[in-house]
Amino acid sequence: MSIAETIIPPQAPPPLGLKAFTAKRLTGIIFVGIWLALFVGLAVWMVADFSGEKFAKYGLRMLLGLGLTLKLVGTSLILGAILSLPIAFARMSKSSAVSSIAYAYVYLFRGTPLIMQVFLIYYGLGSFKHAFETVGLWWFFKDAYSCALLAFVLNTAAYQAEILRGAILSVPRGQTEAAKALGIHAVPTFLKVILPQAIMVALRPYGNEIILMVKGSAIVSIVTVFDLMGETKYAYSRTFDFQIYLWAAILYLAVVELLRNVWNALERRLTRHLKR
Amino acid sequence: MESEVAVAAETDASFLAPLWGALDSIVGAIWAVLHPILTTIDPLCGPVGIFKLFFSNGVLACGDTGWGDDVASGFYVTAILAICTLPLGLVIGFFVALAKQSDEPFLRAAGDIYTTIFRGLPELLTLFIFYFSLPLILEQALRPFGRTEPVSINPFVAGMIAIGVVFSAYCSEVLQSAFKAIPHGQYEGGDALGLHRGQTMRLVIIPQLIRIALPGLGNLWMTLLKDTALVSAIGLPDILRQSSIAAKVTKQAFFFYSLSCILFLVLAMLSSFVFSWIETKARRAEVRH
């Protein structure tokens, strides 16, 4: 039997959760202050330096550029979604030849920068002018917009195929087996049992992919397409007014934030039965 | 007044001169040792390089006759830019993640504004904004010190800052979700052991954080690698720019752009090897015997 001879001296209590005014709060206030000062400063500068002439001359062009950006992104997303279906199924195929070809496609387009794919298609394929002229496809490959669109479709198809595959594989096998036990054919099983459950999983990555495409589409300005970024560069090269970049930044931020909020609302709606 | 400032600046420069001289000679000495080693083990244009061995009399020859050495230098610029950006982005991202998971509403708001802005802007636009605004800001900042000539900024530095900032915004999201995965008991355990805040963070939290965040960080590294290609737009002689020049001169655009795609895939494969090695290293504590 042991007897304690000394009493353990009282220890300081563990740190409390929230104190009245901590260094943390001070840092937070400083950083929020920096942001506020930056925003207010930029806003004051933009209002004070605002020139109606420049706005009339370049503002409308930039809005048209935004329209082109959205058109490019929308078209490539839809075409990419269609193209991603066969790729995703090829990737899940039992034949190793088919699935490895699909894997190579996906790896190629996900492993290289989008800008390089655009260059490869626009400048690279553009160097085979005579071959395309004999086939009668030169009208497509001489146009920067259609080349950019082709690159975007191929690129987003690779990403969307991976999203789709991940989502389909996330649906438990028992769902397919149950549908089989009920005597449902393969196509209705996929459309009515698997797909609705897969969409819930795929929704978030699809939203991210749309936002990535909106942001990634800025690079088409390098191959002389006048999207929002292209118009911005054009206006800046004419005026050397830094405000123009801020206008573009506000437009891009507005589009991305709008998409993000729409997507959050959509996700809440689709998963409302899981909420407690 | 002007001349006084100029004199002050001059004396300042002469006071710093020995320091710069010493730094210069140190860098020179390191370079003198490293340069022969690097040129010997250079896998593209070295004595046993791929371009030297297989393409020595075509457009890819190394030297004045071909474009092999230019493409190779672009390849290394891309790789070095990505490697230099990574620590910058990780450090900023870590602190932003700390701010975003803090219980202080002001800190959270500051972190949220940061990620909203830099995740919402296109990388190319961020790059241009930094490239064009940093010289203006530096010029304003240096004016009180008597420097009035326009400041120009190195595309490498501008690219590093812009891509690092974008990377840090995404990195903070990954780290924030990793922070959420660590139970609160770990912090309390640190307190119970009498560790300081910093010690708890360094010895208890970060080792677990790294393990949880590694797959996400691996994806972000791939994005970072691909984003570096954008820096060619502001004139950095990276792989894309060097290939463009070679393509324009030789009129073999398809060949050179395919080559740069292949080199990018090589970088991606190398980094996936490195990442799987790091992951096995990080997970060795979890292996069950």
Q: Is A184 exposed, middle or buried (0-12, 13-18, 19+ CB in 10 A)?
A: middle
Report in angstroms the alpha-carbon separations of A208 from A204, A212, B116: 6, 6, 14
- Is the residue at A93 inside a domain? yes
At B145 the pLDDT is 80
At B273 the pLDDT is 92
Q: How far is CA B272 from the centre of its chain?
A: 17
Contact A66, A228 (CB under 8 A): yes
DSSP state of A171: S
Chain B residues lying within 8 Å of A25, measured CB to CB: 104, 106-107
Tokens coding B195: 């560790």
At B53 the pLDDT is 66
Q: How far is CA B283 from the centre of its chain?
A: 26
Chain B residues lying within 8 Å of A35, measured CB to CB: 110, 113
CATH number at residue A269: 1.10.3720.10
* Domain ranges within chain B, ordered by starting residue: 1-41, 67-283
Angle (nearest 5°) at CA A44 between A41 and A45: 85
Q: Do B226 and A242 touch (CB under 8 A)?
A: no
- Which residues have a Cβ under 8 Å from the Cβ of A259 and sit 6 or more positions away? A207, A210, A211, A214
Choose among A84, A157, A78: nearest CA to A114.
A157
Interface of A with B in 156-175 (CB under 8 A): none
Tokens coding A116: 């390089």
- Is the residue at A27 inside a domain? no
Q: Which superfamily does B67-283 belong to? A: MetI-like (1.10.3720.10)
- Whole-angstrom distance, CA of residue A221 vs CA of residue A193: 43
Residue A182 belongs to what domain range? Answer: 54-274
Q: Do A215 and B128 touch (CB under 8 A)?
A: no
- Is the residue at A18 inside a domain? no
Indicate left, alpha or beta for A237 from its phi (over 0: left) and psi (-120 to 50: alpha): alpha
DSSP state of B204: I
- Is the residue at A25 inside a domain? no
Average pLDDT, chain A: 90
Q: Tell me the CB-side half-sphere exposure of residue A33, using CA atoms within 13 A.
A: 6
Handedness of CA A174, A176, A178, A180 (dihedral sign): negative
Chain A residues lying within 8 Å of B247, measured CB to CB: 123-124, 127
Q: Which amino acid is at A192?
A: K
Tokens coding B153: 């900024």
At B164 the pLDDT is 96
Q: What is the pLDDT of residues A67-85, one digit of tens each?
A: 999 999 999 999 999 999 9
Domain count, chain A: 1
Tokens coding B241: 């720019």
Pick the residue with more confidence: A131 or A2? Answer: A131
- Is the residue at A45 inside a domain? no
Q: Is B146 exposed, middle or buried (0-12, 13-18, 19+ CB in 10 A)?
A: middle
At B12 the pLDDT is 46
DSSP state of A136: T
At B289 the pLDDT is 54
At B52 the pLDDT is 66
Tokens coding B278: 């790091």
- Is the residue at A5 inside a domain? no
User: A101 pLDDT exceeds 70?
Assistant: yes
At A18 the pLDDT is 56
Q: What is the pLDDT of residues A121-152, one digit of tens each?
A: 999 988 888 888 888 888 888 889 999 999 99
- Is the residue at A264 inside a domain? yes
Chain B residues lying within 8 Å of A112, measured CB to CB: 226, 261, 264-265, 268
At A19 the pLDDT is 59
By three-state DSSP, how is residue A169 classified? helix
Handedness of CA B90, B91, B93, B97 (dihedral sign): positive
At B171 the pLDDT is 95
Angle (nearest 5°) at CA A219 between B248 and B222: 95
The phi, psi pair for A22, rounded to 5°, reads: -105, 170
Q: Model's pTM, two decimal places?
A: 0.84
Pick the residue with more confidence: A185 or A126? Answer: A185
Shortest distance, CA B227 to any CA of chain A (angstroms): 7
CA terminus-to-terminus distance, chain B = 77
Q: Which amino acid is at B256?
A: F
Tokens coding B180: 């959420």
- Is the residue at A47 inside a domain? no
The pLDDT tens digits along chain B (289 residues) read: 344 444 444 444 445 566 777 777 888 888 777 777 777 777 777 666 677 666 666 667 777 677 878 888 889 899 999 999 999 999 999 999 999 988 889 999 999 999 999 999 999 999 999 998 888 888 888 888 877 777 788 899 999 999 999 999 999 999 999 999 999 999 999 999 999 888 999 999 998 898 899 989 999 999 999 999 999 988 888 889 989 998 888 888 898 999 999 999 999 999 999 999 988 888 887 766 5
